[in-house]
Amino acid sequence: MKKLAAGNWKMNGSTAALAEVEALIAAHPAPGCEMLLCPPATLISAMAARATGAALKVGGQDCHAKASGAHTGDLSAAMLLDAGASHVILGHSERRADHGGSSELVRAKAGAALAAGLIAIVCLGETEAERDAGATLAVIGAQLDASLPAGATAATLVIAYEPVWAIGTGRTPTLDQITEVHSFLRARLSGLIGAEAAGTRLLYGGSVKPSNAAEIFALADVDGALVGGASLKAADFGAIVAALSAA
């Protein structure tokens, strides 16, 4: 399987930030992993235009579960595809917290993404209180079970494990904790999608940066990263891409 370095720009970036994309593309013409950036929706088509012919894919950060209709301010999966996206992040903890995204809603959105021809990056993760209570695997298992759309395959689904307490905090789980969750996810996934689980990319996300990327990418069952803050600068994200390419 080809590993995946995915960047999530969140609510950051204007057209001036596309200079970072040009620098990234120039520095990594043929990386040894897939390279994806998910900018705000306002930048998808401009970024996709810059990425044409380059080894960079572009994704959205969320989509609606419906194909079209009276949903002011929302975007459908087909609209993201039309703008030049190939992937969409779904169930990010910030969406779950800010917009009440249940796992059932994530499943509906992921189904819509697959139906439109997008690859769904489904995010899962425990809060700090859940980890302290020893509930990490139970929480993640329940999120996985409830979030997966019917018909998901290794080619259409990516899972991102993102402990909520590690996002944007500079804190990361221990390497043993990451390994425990990723091997649990691989096994649980095979109960859900059978042989497809072996080839499904399992990303780690939460305070990944150039200085910790290599040790995380060396872990079994870590097939890449979902990167927030460190994806905004070409030099930082490029260093993470290089570390994943070398893993």
The set of catalytic residues is: 92, 162
Question: In whole angstroms, what is the distance from residue 191 CA to residue 103 CA?
Answer: 18
Using CB atoms, what's the residue nearest to ligand PGA? 228
| Beta strand extents in 168-223 (DSSP E only) | 201-205
CB of 5 to ligand PGA, least distance (A): 12
Contact by Cβ (8 Å): 78, 116? yes
Question: In whole angstroms, what is the distance from residue 213 CA to residue 239 CA?
Answer: 9
Of residues 71 and 215, the one with the C-beta less far from ligand PGA: 215
Write out the H or E segment, with its range, that includes residue 33: none
Question: In whole angstroms, what is the distance from residue 32 CA to residue 34 CA?
Answer: 7
Of residues 156 and 207, the one with the C-beta less far from ligand PGA: 207
Instruction: Give contact residues for ligand PGA (rule: CB under 6 A).
Output: 8, 162, 167-168, 205-208, 226-230
Contact by Cβ (8 Å): 58, 51? yes
Half-sphere exposure of 72 (CA within 13 A, CB side): 0
Of residues 75 and 230, the one with the C-beta less far from ligand PGA: 230
Of residues 193 and 214, the one with the C-beta less far from ligand PGA: 214
CB of 139 to ligand PGA, least distance (A): 17
CB of 94 to ligand PGA, least distance (A): 7
CB of 99 to ligand PGA, least distance (A): 15
Question: In whole angstroms, what is the distance from residue 199 CA to residue 76 CA?
Answer: 27
Q: C-alpha angle 198/148/142, rounded to 5°?
A: 95
Contact by Cβ (8 Å): 101, 91? yes
